[in-house]
Amino acid sequence: MENSRRDFLKIAGISALAVAGAEPVLNAFASEHGEEASKAAGFQKEEKALTAKQWAMVIDTRKFKSAKDLEPIIEVCHKIHNVPDFSKENKRHIIKWIWEEEYKHAFPGDASGFTDERIEHLPFLVLCNHCEEPPCVRACPTKATFKREDGIVLMDFHRCIGCRFCMAACPYGSRSFNFRDPRPFIEERNPQFPTRMKGVVEKCNFCAERLAAGQVPACVEASKGAIAFGDLYDPESEVRKLLKSNYTIRRKAGLGTGPTIYYIV
Amino acid sequence: MLELALKGSKKYYGWVAVLLGGISVGFAVYLWQLNFGLGLTGMHRDVSWGFYIAQFTFLVGVAAGGVMVVLPYYLHHYKAFGKITILGEFLAISAITMCLLFIIVDLGQPMRALNVILHPTPKSILFWDMIVLNGYLFLNIIIGWQVLEAERNAVAPPKWLKPFIYLSIPWAVGIHTVTAYLYCGLPGRGFWLTAILAPRFLSSAFAAGPALLILLCLIIRKMTKFDPGKEQIQSLAKIVTYAIIINVFFLLCEVFVVFYSRIPEHMDHLTYLFYGLQGHSALVPWMWTSMSLMGIAIILLLIPSVRANESLLAICCVLVFCGTWIDKGLGMISGGFVPNPLHQVNEYAPTIPELAITLGVYATGFFVLTVLFKIAVTVKEEAAA
Ligand code: SF4
Ligand code: SF4
Ligand code: SF4
């Protein structure tokens, strides 16, 4: 908590600088439809909004002991984002933005059979990696999935035609499809966030709506300091400091997608 | 010329009625799916493309296969095929119709399909697939119609048609290449991530398309006064033979690379398809059936006397068609999704509503095919009389 609040203040300060000085640079890096996209996503930028060149996360798995520690993190994300619960209905239709996986599934190909016991049984949090070179964005035929100027891979639920090309393209299984109307399966609706209709894809949005209001992502807040969030291209950011002083791994880094979720193991 | 489709025998009307029945059942179930969502199908988070996209892929091949009569006639001046190019073109039209319908029934939000045009995204292969498929449909409608009309009026087809015909030949290769690129450019899907995918698609297309065409020729000869010709059928049989051999060869190239390199991301999908993975093996009997069908077909087709015997040839064509259909229409898509990117096995099987909609689309395609072939054959009969 301490950490993330400090980080947030720093980010706010730097973003003010960025707006004042580095605007053209940022623009040069912005994707072709960055502005249109952020409008489409419906999150107006406020003054207190947090900005970055590429948001990233560092998950310190040493701070998690069991699946119990992850539950509140997963729950808060799904709750505030109106993610329906199909676990009791039909497992085929399940939708998840962030969930836990064993090491051998989160990092298939890296598991050896002689992994140390802590790692072997440790639950790993997995979510959209907000890849720097996202194959899902490349595949989408309508730009309903797009990379925003702050690196977040966002979705426009009103443009998505439900072709699911992005699901085939994502090498991490980060995306879910609304196989039916999700609304009856939302226990408690959060009026601050849109619900989805059937026939569209969805996934973690790095809490773009919270960043716009100057807040860090909900999972970061709920992690009690185990998840750090910040700008990957700001050498002073907390994520960069952690990356400098810890050995980290990323999921399937060899594919060149540039995942921005880093794990300290 | 359309009026020619309206007059026919009792058998013709009966067949059309059966197809219309199939269309209405499929359409009714589709309305249900439209209302409920794609949850009506067997697809899920891991196998997010299923039967619809697999049929689409297979039928793009059938459409491209039509070029195997057009190319020898126009590029090699192989006169015998002049009689049946129209059948190849009309087969392509009906196959593309089915492809487009399968895409539509697979969309979660079909009402927004036009977004692909309203927000054109050249980086997406789906954008190009839409262009090449519609372009191929357009080309074949123009060419088929003009050629047939000219034949009816006993004149040569208009000169301006030639460039379209020449364009349609590489275009046919293009539709199946682009369709393969939908899959083979995706990182993390080891089963498809291979440069041999497009060649494999093409070779199986050039086997399945002409095989179906032979069967259709035999049916036409039986049901009408138009004879597509013995020589024509024999030449098609040679094409089928070459193509199915090349198809199996390409598959073996893939099998070698995958199993000799033993890279799990590539190997596990083939293992799943042919031996089962982590106790899941729904597709194993299918895949071995497919291999046997193609293998037996090759052996039979290589024997000249078998090929020359039209009843045996018909059986071979059925074997080729079914073998390639299982390979592409069943294994190719779900095989790529199992195991999933997290290396978990969640199998897929289509549901009954899904099959009903699939049948409906096939009925629509065969309806288009029947009407077009009826017109073509009537023109040919008139010309002969
Ligand atoms: S993890 Fe998947 S969904 Fe997220 S940006 Fe990367 S490719 Fe896209
Ligand atoms: S399902 Fe939606 S977001 Fe995904 S590729 Fe299709 S249009 Fe784009
Ligand atoms: S960043 Fe936000 S949307 Fe993404 S997993 Fe965390 S809480 Fe959920």
Query: For residues B2 and A152, which has the higher predicted lDDT (pLDDT)?
Result: A152
Atom of ligand 1 nearest to the CA of A129: 1
Pair type for strands A227-231 and A55-60: antiparallel
CB atoms within 10 A of CB A34: 17
Note the pLDDT of residue A110.
82
> Would you state the pLDDT for residue B1?
78
Tell me: the pLDDT tens digits for B247-273? 999 999 999 999 999 999 999 999 999
pLDDT, mean over chain B: 95
> Do residue B108 and residue A201 have CB atoms under 8 angstroms apart?
yes
Q: Is the pLDDT of residue A3 over 70?
A: no
Q: Choose from B112, B265, B337 for mutation: most chain A CBs within 10 A.
A: B112
Give the percent of chain B with pLDDT over 70.
Answer: 100
The rounded distance, in Å, linking the Cα atoms of B241 and B248 is 11
- Give the confidence band of A109 by pLDDT, cuts at 50, 70, 90: confident
Asked if A168's CB is within 8 angstroms of B109's CB, the reply is: no
Number of domains in chain A: 1
Question: What pLDDT does A1 receive?
Answer: 41
Q: Where are the domains of chain B?
A: 2-384
For the residues B146-159, what does the mean pLDDT come to?
92
Q: Which residue from A86, A45, A111, A48 is spatially nearest to A249, judged by alpha carbons?
A: A111
CA A98–ligand 2 middle distance (angstroms): 19
**Burial A194-204, CB ≥16 within 10 A → b, else e:** ebbbbbbbbbb
Residue of chain A nearest B37, judged by CA positions = A180
For ligand 1, say whether the CB of A260 is within 6 Å of any of its atoms: no
Q: How many residues does chain A have?
A: 265
Q: Are A173 and B112 an interchain contact pair (Cβ–Cβ within 8 Å)?
A: no
Do the Cβ atoms of B341 and A142 come within 8 Å? Answer: no
Cα(B60)–Cα(B63) distance, integer angstroms? 5
- How much is the average pLDDT of B312-337? 96
Q: How far apart are the first and last CA of chain B?
A: 17
With an 8 Å Cβ cutoff, are B342 and A138 in contact?
no
The pLDDT of residue A25 is above 90: no
Q: What was the pLDDT predicted at A15?
A: 46
A156/A35: higher pLDDT: A156
Provide the pLDDT for residue A19: 41
Q: Going by CA atoms, what residue is nearest to atom 8 of ligand 1?
A: A136
**Is pLDDT above 80 for A12?**
no
Q: Average pLDDT in the A176-195 region?
A: 96
- Report CB contact under 8 Å: B38, A101: no
pLDDT score recorded for residue B3: 85
Counting ligands in written order, the one closest to the CA of B126 is 2
CA distances from A52 to A22, A26, A40, A56, A245 (A): 11, 9, 19, 9, 21
Cβ atoms B60, B95 nearer than 8 A: yes
Chain B contact for A254, CB < 8 A? no
Q: Both tokens of residue A84?
A: 């329906």
Indicate if ligand 1 lies below 6 Å from the C-beta of A145. Answer: no
Of the pLDDT bands very low, low, confident and very high (cuts 50, 70, 90), residue A44 is low
Per-residue pLDDT for A38 more than 80?
no
Which pLDDT value is given to residue A200?
A: 98
Determine the pLDDT at residue A43: 54
Selected residue with higher pLDDT from B152 and A22: B152
Q: Are the CB atoms for B259 and B115 separated by under 8 Å?
A: no
Q: Which two tokens stand for residue B175?
A: 């539709």
Mean pLDDT of the residues in chain A? 86
The mean pLDDT value for B340-368 works out to 97
Who among B103, B116, B123 is closest to A138 (CB)?
B123
The confidence score (pLDDT) of residue A121 equals 87
Task: Confirm or reject: Cβ of A131 under 6 Å from ligand 1.
Answer: yes
Give the range of the structural domain holding residue A187, as residue numbers without chain letter: 2-264
Q: Which residues of A touch B39 (CB under 8 A)?
A: 90, 92-93, 179-180, 198
DSSP 8-state secondary structure symbol assigned to residue A89: T
User: For position A37, what pLDDT does the model report?
Assistant: 45
Residues B267-273: contacts with CB within 8 Å, 24+ apart? Answer: B267/B190, B268/B190, B268/B339, B268/B343, B269/B190, B269/B191, B269/B335, B269/B336, B269/B338, B269/B339, B270/B191, B270/B335, B272/B335, B272/B338, B272/B339, B272/B345, B273/B331, B273/B335
- Residue A168: DSSP 8-state: H
How many interface pairs between A and B have CB atoms less than 8 angstroms apart?
149
pLDDT of residue A32: 39
> Going by C-beta distance under 8 Å and a sequence separation of 6 or more, which residues neighbour residue B373?
B87, B90, B216, B220
Please tell me the predicted confidence (pLDDT) of residue A24: 37
Q: Give the CATH number of the domain where residue A218 resides.
A: 3.30.70.20
Q: Are strands A248-249 and A98-101 parallel, antiparallel or unpaired?
A: unpaired
Mean pLDDT score, B114-123: 95
Q: 3-class DSSP state for residue B375?
A: helix
d(CA A88, CA A72): 19
pLDDT over 90 for what percent of chain B? 95
Say if residues A217 and A200 touch (Cβ distance below 8 Å): no
Average pLDDT over residues B182-202: 96
Which residue's structure tokens are 């390979």? Answer: B327
Find the angle CA(B41)-CA(B42)-CA(B43) to the nearest 5 degrees: 95
ipTM, two decimals, is 0.93
Task: Give the separation between CA A226 and CA A220, rounded to whole angstroms.
Answer: 8
Rounded to whole angstroms, how far apart are CA atoms B258 and B53? 25
Q: Which residue of A has its CA nearest to B192?
A: A168
Among B107, B118, B121, the residue with its CB nearest the CB of A140 is B121
Give per-residue pLDDT as tens, A127-158. 999 999 999 999 999 999 999 999 999 999 99
* B169 C-beta neighbours (distance < 10 Å), count: 15
* pLDDT > 60? residue A30: no
Quote the pLDDT of residue A45: 59
Give me the pLDDT at residue A35, please.
Answer: 42
Decide if pLDDT at B311 tops 70. Answer: yes
pLDDT at A228: 97
Query: Is A217 near ligand 3, meaning CB less than 6 Å away?
Result: yes
Which of A33, A95, A145 has most ligand 2 atoms within 8 Å of its beta carbon, as the pocket-test mutant?
Answer: A145
- pLDDT band at B302, cuts 50/70/90? very high
Q: Which of B230, B235, B237, B231 is nearest to B211 (CA)?
A: B237
Nearest to B4 by CA among B365, B363, B376, B369: B376
Average pLDDT over residues A250-262: 97
Q: Select from B119, B197, B337, B354 the residue whose CB has the most chain A CBs within 10 Å, as the one to mutate to test that interface.
A: B119
Confidence at A89, pLDDT banded by 50, 70, 90 = confident
Which atom belonging to ligand 1 lies closest to the Cα atom of A137?
8
Given pLDDT bands bounded at 50, 70 and 90, which one contains residue A112?
A: confident
